[in-house]
Amino acid sequence: MANHKSALKRIRSNETKRLRNRYQHKTTRNAIKKLREADKKEAEAMLPSVISMIDKLAKKNIIHDNKAANLKSNMAKHVAAL
């Protein structure tokens, strides 16, 4: 267990950040699934917002930059093929 005040604070802040990151990541994954199931018109409307969500995750290092690029590329291809 932590012995210093700063270490205790770090434990609390890490847990808060972990929960926030988990929520944002799960929300983005659900949005991606919804986009894949949508028809062409809905998917085209959703694409910019989902790409924005992915970019935010990559910017905060919740997911890797290359993974973000792969997700965006695959979604754009999927929407174009509809």
What integer pLDDT is reported at residue 56 of this predicted model? 95
Q: Total structural domains in the chain? A: 1
Q: Residue 64 belongs to what domain range?
A: 39-82
pTM listed for this prediction: 0.83
User: Per-residue pLDDT tens for 2-60?
Assistant: 789 999 999 999 999 999 999 999 999 999 999 999 999 999 999 999 999 999 999 99
What integer pLDDT is reported at residue 82 of this predicted model? 86
Query: Which residues, 6+ apart, have CB-to-CB distance to 76 below 8 Å?
Result: 47
Sequence letter at residue 45: A
What integer pLDDT is reported at residue 35 of this predicted model? 95
> Residue 22 falls within a domain, yes or no?
no
Burial of 29 (0-12, 13-18, 19+ CB in 10 A): middle
CB count within 10 Å of CB 7 equals: 11
Residue 1 confidence class, pLDDT cut points 50, 70, 90: confident
> Residue 72 falls within a domain, yes or no?
yes
What integer pLDDT is reported at residue 17 of this predicted model? 96
Q: d(Cα 31, Cα 39) in Å, to the nearest integer?
A: 14
Are 75 and 50 in contact by the 8 Å Cβ rule? The answer is yes
